[in-house]
Structure 1
Amino acid sequence: MFIPSFGYGRRSFLVNAPARFFVAVLVAAALWAARAHADGVKSRTAAIRIVAIGDSLTAGLGLREQDTFTVRLDAALRARGHNVTVVNAGVSGDTTAGGRTRLAWTIAGSGAEKTDAVILELGANDGLRGLDPGATFANLDDILTRLGRRKIPVLLTGMLAPPNLGRDYARQFREIYIRLAQKHDVVFYPFFLAGVAADPKLNQNDAKHPNADGVKVIVRRILPAVEKLLKRVSGRGES
């Protein structure tokens, strides 16, 4: 008796098995490509997270939150079209030794909380206390070395020592930052308080910390250096 075959027999299944396998591979590949594309889009659109590690100048001592350096810098960068988040990791009274101690947990994080770049603003309190420039250099050197190992781009901001400590100390202190910038090939902004220091109109009553107008000047002047830092973040992502 003739029994018609509708393609569901054992022979038909074996013949079509390679085709089914090929289709399954194509589907899996398409799904993988779609997921990879989505992850790539997400990584390109995620905000660049800049962590500002510093002392009271970064923390914003005596200022309203909206007038602090990190908030003002965040707003200025976004106004120029940069998708960024600037994190305030300033601790009032901190020295380079303190920053060195807390570095690991300050930059810890993953995913959306990862650290893409660092602005390193430390040393003012070392200078005010007349600490050994060699120790200040060693602390900052260690911080930059550890950030370098993690391939985190850095903007190093310099600081000047008070003039009452003498010319020799002032020279040694200034050279700390120059030497470190050259050694670690980081973006360098020579003096964080440039255009603000010693100007009564731009400082609080203590003559040490910038007021709201002073912070505006700092942000405006440092902005090109921060944008240079962002280029290094983008370059790292392309490599």
Structure 2
Amino acid sequence: MRRLLPLIALALAACSQSAPTPEAPKPQASASAAISAPPVPDGAPVILAFGDSLYAGYRLAPGQGYPPRLEAALNASGVKARVVNAGVSGDTTAAARARLAFTLDNQKVKPTLVMVGLGGNDMLRGLPPAETRANLDAILTELEKRQVPAMLTGMLAAPNMGQDYVSAFNPIYPALAAKHKAPLIPFFLQSVIGNEALMLDDHIHPNPQGVDKIVAATKEEVAKALKAAMAP
């Protein structure tokens, strides 16, 4: 894992808002993406995917990012849900905290569950972990005030950030998950990091097959969190 973690820094750095806009990638075949997604029934609970480029679908065609593929996988398995993409490439936790109220206030339907996937860009920019923790804590607190259940998809700091930084950053997600009683996926990229066959041609971002691999690795936890959120 320590050998692979520097790839996280490369992947998320390329998602920074300061990075140049990449050329559109060539379409890549995806067996699962070629299958028509089952229709989402009216009134299905809404999952809001609130995060950075890992939710936004960096350099992927419409329908190939994590939110739409998660929606398709959940519905195909009998878990009715509509997944709304609220990912913004380059977002730090501070930027996401600033747009949270606007995002929630402008949803057509109140989310049943909000997935929070943030913090990687904070780490890449060397922002103090205390600030990352405070911003994520504020986001989760606001969701609690609105009575919207949340779950966290976590990130790990690259070892080249230094042991002090790693020791301060990595515990943020389990600590906040425990504090807010939020389900946690400890490391969102666990199933694809370091596997070039699951990456775009830049070798650092998930391709459609990589997205489907992440979906397969996380959909059961998301389904459990959604079921818990819907419980009386």
**Structures share fold, TM-score greater than 0.5:** yes
Alpha-carbon offset, residue 109 of structure 1: 4.7
Alpha-carbon offset, residue 45 of structure 1: 6.6
* Contact 2:67–2:84 (CA under 8 A) maintained in structure 1: yes
Is it true that 1:68 corresponds to 2:65 in the alignment? yes
Relative to structure 1, the CA distance from residue 98 to residue 131 in structure 2 (aligned partners, 3 Å threshold; closer, same or farther) is same
* Contact 1:95–1:123 (CA under 8 A) maintained in structure 2: yes
| Runs of 5+ consecutive residues of structure 2 not aligned to the other structure | 1-40
What is the match of residue 32 of structure 1? none
What is the match of residue 90 of structure 1? 87
Deviations 1:174-220 (A, max 9, x none): 10101101110001110110111122221224343211111011100
What is the match of residue 191 of structure 2? 195
Matched residues in 2 for 1:84 and 1:185: separation? 22
Matched residues in 2 for 1:123 and 1:109: separation? 23
TM-score under structure 1 length normalisation: 0.76
The alignment covers a number of residue pairs equal to: 192
Q: Describe how 1:195-234 pairs up with structure 2 within 5 A.
A: 195-234=191-230
Q: Match for 1:78 among 71, 75, 78?
A: 75
Matched residues in 1 for 2:104 and 2:113: separation? 9
Structure 1 letter corresponding to 2:222: V
What is the match of residue 183 of structure 1? 179
Structure 1 letter corresponding to 2:102: W
TM-score under structure 2 length normalisation: 0.79
Deviation beyond 4 Å, 4+ runs, structure 1: none
* Contact 1:52–1:88 (CA under 8 A) maintained in structure 2: yes
Structure 2 letter corresponding to 1:156: L
Greater relative CO (CA pairs within 8 A, separation 6+):
2
* Contact 1:155–1:225 (CA under 8 A) maintained in structure 2: no
Higher-Rg member (1/2): 1
